[in-house]
Amino acid sequence: MVIEIDFQSDEALYTQLMNQIIMGIATSRLQEGDPLPSVRQLADTIGINMHTVNKAYSLLRQEGFVSIDRRKGAVICLDVDKLRAMEELKQNLRVALARGCCNNVTREEVHSLIDEILDEYEK
């Protein structure tokens, strides 16, 4: 698993880490049952604080993307509640679409962009 952190970004490090793991799941680079590196190992590998990795893993667990076991560590576990995921997606899309409308992005351009992105996640 390759994680790239942008230390110049305004986005929080734990958010970047979470998003990269979620993208790994969506693109099938990470599969159900795959173990994630230990908190200490991942923190050392990418050069961030262990508490940052721990926060990302904890939030991923809360969102249903990983399970955490003392013996096995963090493991990809796709037990996401679809209704909750749909509501979160709807909220995020509202903001993204509002930004697009402010920049005169057309409905057709949005549909094309969504199809392009979803094609990246086809399994």
pLDDT digits (tens, 9 = 90+) for 58-81: 999 988 899 998 888 999 987 656
Same domain? 66 vs 98: no
- pLDDT higher than 70, residue 94: yes
Same domain? 90 vs 72: no
Q: Which domain holds residue 88?
A: 82-121
Same domain? 70 vs 20: yes
Helices (H), 1-123: 13-26, 39-46, 50-62, 82-102, 107-121
> Which pLDDT value is given to residue 120?
87
The Cα 103–Cα 99 span in angstroms is 7
* pTM (predicted TM-score): 0.70
> Which pLDDT value is given to residue 56?
97
Same domain? 28 vs 71: yes
Of 76, 91, 111, at which residue does a domain stop?
A: 76
Same domain? 18 vs 71: yes
Task: Show the tokens assigned to 79.
Answer: 């037990």
What is the count of structural domains for the chain? 2
The Cα 62–Cα 98 span in angstroms is 28
